[in-house]
Structure 1
Amino acid sequence: MLGVLHPLPKLIVCLVWIVTAITLFDLRFQLFTIGLAATLLIVLERRSVIFVIGLMVPFTLFGAGFLTTSLLFRQDTDFALKLSAEQIFARPEVSAGLVLFFRAIACGMVSALFALTTDPGQLVRALMIHARLPATVGFALLQALNLVPDLAREAQQIRLARAMMQGRRPRRIPGPVEGASLIVPLLAFAIRRAGRAALAMEARGLKAGAPRSHLNQPQAGWADLLFASCAAGLLAGGICFARIF
């Protein structure tokens, strides 16, 4: 459902929310942010609870470093300890560590929400049309988006061809030796693709500052206004809840 929204308003809302989560040193706001992002993914995007929990794992591991630093090494700044004294825990070092821990998860979940509900191609087109992103940079990003899955398919084809020549079943996961042997052919494939893309861009008159037309332009509508208004209201409500209670 969130995928139909215009990428730029959604990007601005997510960036403002992340900046607020970084600057507002309050555990309740971090928990509110995590719960809201998880609810949107489960209810609106129909993602499974297991998927959302698995999505939190890398951010949890990253935030664990802040937590262990606060609890074991007591290396918090005076500013963090002063703010953490207002939290719900008696020990400031525990409060500071938990806020930093959940802040890492909150910022990661907001970023994941944006990444999972935004088409990269639409985002690049919106940046070129509305944010004055140079066409050379935008089309280079679009080529990179197309190249990454092609590299994976090319690597799989090379592995299958080698397995057929050797008369064996291909391994599910390539070993270190097999992975190292794929570097040169994949590099050659990427260079050929880059050369063809450069020729195609030159043939189509891709020059800096030249007037251009765009197909499949993302259009902003009432849904984007409603989304931005609801996000602003929830953000203000979360800040007030953190400050009052």
Structure 2
Amino acid sequence: MTFHEMNPTLKFLTVTCLMFGLAFMYNPWTPLLVFTGTLLLQTLFADVSWRRWGLYMIPFLLTAIGTLWTTLVFGREAGGAVVFTLFGNDVTEENVRLAVTLALRVLAFTALSLLFTLTTDPKRFVYSLMQQGKLSPKIAYSVFVGFRFFPILKSELIQLYETHALRGVRLETRLDHVRHVPKLLIPLLAGSIRQAERIAFSMEARGFTGERRSTYEVVPVTRNDFVLAACLVLLFVVSMWVGIR
């Protein structure tokens, strides 16, 4: 029983509801407990590289620090005793409380988002949206084609660089590669159009009309999915109860 095996649609709805509910909590304890509880659940029920998680967390950590700083410096003066003075502004207890709450909320949102992102296979998520969320196959397969295009574009870009290098173009440093990008855009765009036409003809030849059809890969909803969803909901309820007290 792991978050990797959890039904993606149910996981998405659960995480979205938690984030929506968290937006209405104006105390620092609720987002703090949601953040730490999410990390605990991720440790117990997921196999995630913490090094990768930490790298993804860096920009959001900076965002949380920036939110804390700007709320303290530029926030509207609220009631309560003055804690300290910052750049001529009196920072009250209520200002500190609000700043810490907003910063912790950013971290809690990020932890929940990373829990979903790092434990969800995009292909399985789209299949689940078609089967449980009744997503239109036209939209679903358009998303699949978009995912398919990324490695194709990367491969074609490498081929173009290698072709130009064989023709004597100096591409020794990263700066040379960046400067050469505008000369690659037109052939890359032409190649993308050709690939799109081939994919469209291929889908039409295989009878794709956008109507409902049987799927080879079935993404079920199991009892373990509801157990993991209940763990997340229980975490939010406990965090909300502690914050309100």
TM-score range, shorter chain: 0.7 to 0.9
| Aligned residue in 2 for 1:226 | 227
The TM-score normalised by the length of structure 2 is 0.84
| Aligned residue in 2 for 1:143 | 145
Higher helix share: 1
Q: Is the 8 A contact 1:160 1:170 kept in 2?
A: no
Q: CA deviation at 1:173?
A: 6.9
Q: Distance in 1 between matches of 2:179 and 2:118?
A: 34
- After TM superposition, list the pairs within 5 Å mapping 1:51-200 onto structure 2: 51-75=52-76, 91-166=93-168, 171=173, 175-200=177-202
Q: Which has the higher contact order (CA 8 A, sep 6+)?
A: 2
Unaligned runs of 5+ in 2: 82-90
Q: Distance in 1 between matches of 2:160 and 2:64?
A: 39
How big is the alpha-carbon RMSD for the aligned residues of Structure 1 and Structure 2?
Answer: 2.6
- What is the CA deviation profile of residues 3-45 of structure 1, one whole-angstrom value per residue up to 9, with x for unaligned ones? 1111111111110111122111221111122223333444543
| Aligned residue in 2 for 1:31 | 32
Paired letter, 1:142: F
The TM-score normalised by the length of structure 1 is 0.84
Q: Is the 8 A contact 1:135 1:206 kept in 2?
A: no
Q: Is the 8 A contact 1:38 1:52 kept in 2?
A: no
Q: Distance in 2 between matches of 1:204 and 1:48?
A: 39
User: 2:215 is paired with a residue of what secondary structure?
Assistant: coil
Q: Distance in 1 between matches of 2:130 and 2:45?
A: 29
Equivalent pairs counted in the alignment come to: 235
Residue 29 to residue 206, structure 1, CA distance change in 2 (3 Å): same
Mean Cα deviation higher: 50-59 or 91-100? 50-59
Q: Is the 8 A contact 2:131 2:219 kept in 1?
A: no
Q: CA deviation at 1:121?
A: 0.8
Mean Cα deviation higher: 121-130 or 39-48? 39-48
Question: Is 1:213 paired with 2:219?
Answer: no
Mean Cα deviation higher: 159-168 or 3-12? 159-168
Q: Is the 8 A contact 2:7 2:225 kept in 1?
A: yes
Residue 168 to residue 40, structure 1, CA distance change in 2 (3 Å): farther
Q: Distance in 1 between matches of 2:212 and 2:57?
A: 44
Q: Is the 8 A contact 1:42 1:48 kept in 2?
A: no
Q: Distance in 2 between matches of 1:48 and 1:214?
A: 32
Q: Is the 8 A contact 1:159 1:170 kept in 2?
A: no
User: 1:23 is paired with a residue of what secondary structure?
Assistant: coil
Identical columns (%): 25
| Aligned residue in 1 for 2:237 | 236
Residue 173 to residue 149, structure 1, CA distance change in 2 (3 Å): farther
